[in-house]
Amino acid sequence: MKKLMLCLLGLTILRFSASASHNRTAEITYLQVDAYTIDCSLVTYTNAISTAASRDSLELQWGDGTSTWIHRVNGPDADNNSIPDGEILANNYQRNVYRAQHRYADWGTYTIALFDDNRQQGIVTLNPPNSDHIPMYVETEFVLGPELNHSPQLLQAPVDIAYAGRRFVHTPVAFDPDGDSTSYRLIRPQMMPDQDVPNYSFPNQVNGAPPSALVLDTETGLLVWEVPTWTGVYSIAYEITSHRNGQVRGRLIRDLIIIVQDGEWPLPSLDVAPPPGGIQSVEVGDTVRLELSANVEEFPFNQELVLSTRSGLDDFFQTRPSFDFTRVSDREGRASFTWIVEQEHVRGQPYDLVFRAQDGTELANYLVLRYRVEGIVSAQREPVVPDPIRIFPNPASDWLVVEGARTASYLIWDAGGRIVQRGRLEPGQPIGISGLVAGAYFLRVEGRGSQAFLKNGGVR
C-alpha cells in the first residue's frame, strides 16, 4: 500500500513570506486513463490582484515518492511566456488550473498532495489574526488498479458569498463519472498529512458569536449555515469519499472559503414544480420536466437575477438535458428543465440535480433534487444494448479510428469534464483530433459507451 511520502522536517513551514500569503483554497481531482496512468487537475483560488500569488507552476506530490512541478493551463497568456495566466473571477479571486499526467509502477493506494507555504491572510476561523502563517495542505487518496477509478469532479467553485444575519447555502456539486456513491463530512482544514491547522473554530463557533446551526447533508453535500453573525473570511474543509460495492475507492479534501459581508439583501428564493420529495425513480424513456422560479424581495445596484444548473449530465453524457432561463425582471426569473432519460444514464447511484439562484452581489441559493434511473425501458422504446467501443491508435496524435464504426454522434471531453469536441461518426471515417492539446480525453459514441485515450503533441 503506497502512502504519501513527504519530508516535512525542515520544510518551508517556517518560511512566512508576506508576499506568498494569497493562497485561498485548492483541490485535486483526477481521471484514470489506463491501468497505471492518471490525468490530474490541481485547482487553486488565489488573490487576483497579487502577482506573487499568480504562479505558473506548483509542485505536486504523487504519493509514490516522486513529485512534479506542473504548469497552469487555463486563461490567457498576457505575458507571452507560453503558460496561461489563470482566470479572473468575482471578488478579486483568480482560478488557476494545473494539469499533468503521472504513470505509477504498480497498483495500490496512493495520495496526491499539495503543500503550500502560506494561506490567505485574515481568515477569522484559522489561527487569527495570522492565518497567513499557516501552510495550506490538500490531498486526494485513491485506489489504482485494473478497474478504472475516477475521482468525483467538483462542478461548483469553493468560494461563496454570505451576508451577516442571512442564511447561507452551498454545495460542491460533486459528480462521480464512475457512478460510485459519494459521502460528505466537514473537517478542519489541514496543514500537513493528518494534522489540523492550529487555533481553528468552525464558522458557527467563532468566539463571541451567538449559537447558529451549521448543518451538512452527508449524501448531497448541501451545507446550510443558518445565521452568519460577523463579517469576515471563513474557512472550512469538505472530506468527500467515494464508495464502490461497499469499499472506499477514494477520498479528497477540499477547502471552502465563505466571505461574510454586511448587507440587507435576503437570500434569493428558489422553488420548483413539482416539489421535491426524496429520491425520485425514473426509467429509460421517461422525461423529467421541472419548472423553477426564483426572486428576491430587495435587489441592489439594479443587477440581474440568474438561474443555472449543474449535475454532471451536461458534462459526461451524449444526451444532455435542456435548461431554458427566462428573466421576468431584475428581481424575478423562471426556468424550464427537461431531461430525456436514456440508457446511458442507468446507474445504481442517484443523480443530484443542483439548481442555483444568484443575485447581482453573488449571493446564491441552492436546491438539490435527486433522481435514480432504473434500467427498465418503457414499452414504447426499444432497449439500447451498448457494443463496447474500441479505438486505435492510443495514444494518438492526429486521428482516432473506431473499430466497427456505425453512423452515430460522438463527443470528446477532457480530464476536467469539459466537452471539447462534438461530431458525427461515419463508417470508415476517422475522427480528427489534431486540434486538441496534449492530454487525457474520453470519447463517447452514441449507443456504445466511452473509452479513454491519450493525445500526443500540441495543437497544430
> How many residues does the structure list for the chain?
460
Residue 249: its H or E element:
strand 247-261
**Hey, which bits of 321-429 come out as E strands?**
322-329, 332-340, 351-358, 364-377, 391-392, 399-402, 408-414, 419-425
Reduce the DSSP state of residue 20 to 3 states and report it: helix
Q: What is the pLDDT of residue 258?
A: 96
* SS3 letters across 187-238: ECCEEECCEECCCECCHHHCCCCCCCCEEECCCCCCEEECCCCCCEEEEEEE
Residue 445, domain extent: 391-455
Q: In this structure, what CATH number is given to the domain that contains residue 280?
A: 2.60.40.10
Residues 194 and 169 in one domain: yes
Reference 85, options 119, 39, 51, 120; nearest CA is: 51
- Under the banding of pLDDT at 50, 70 and 90, the label for residue 3 is very low
Task: Give the pLDDT confidence score for residue 416 in this predicted structure.
Answer: 63
Percent of the chain with pLDDT over 70: 89
Kindly state whether residues 398 and 369 are assigned to the same domain. Answer: no
Categorise residue 18: left if φ over 0, alpha if ψ from -120 to 50, beta otherwise: alpha
Average pLDDT over every residue of 315-340: 90
Contact (CB, 8 A) for 364 and 268: yes
- Residues 107, 25 share a domain: yes
Of residues 1 and 250, more confidently modeled: 250
pLDDT at 304 (0 to 100) = 78
Residues 19 and 35 in one domain: yes
**200, β-bridge pairs:** 126
| Tens-place pLDDT, residues 128-157 | 999 999 999 999 999 999 888 999 999 999
Do residues 35 and 145 make contact, with C-beta atoms less than 8 angstroms apart? yes
Same domain? 177 vs 236: yes
Q: Do 120 and 198 fall within a single domain?
A: yes
Q: Same domain, yes or no, for 321 and 406?
A: no
Q: 126 and 83 in one domain?
A: yes
C-alpha 54/C-alpha 60 separation (Å) is 16
Report the SS3 class of residue 113.
strand
Q: Average pLDDT of the chain?
A: 86
Q: What is the pLDDT of residue 149?
A: 93
> Which residues are CB-neighbours of 410 under 8 A, at least 6 positions away?
318, 402, 422, 423, 424, 425, 431, 443, 444, 445, 446
Cα distance between residue 287 and residue 343, in whole Å = 13
Predicted confidence at residue 185, as pLDDT, reads 97
Domain endpoint, select from 353, 377, 401: 377
pLDDT at residue 231, as a whole number? 93
Q: Does 57 have pLDDT greater than 50?
A: yes
Top pLDDT among 438 and 137 is at 137
* Tens-digit pLDDT profile for residues 196-209: 999 999 999 997 77
Residues 238 and 276 in one domain: no
Same domain, 117 and 161: yes
pLDDT at 125: 95
Number of domains in the chain: 3
DSSP state of 83: S
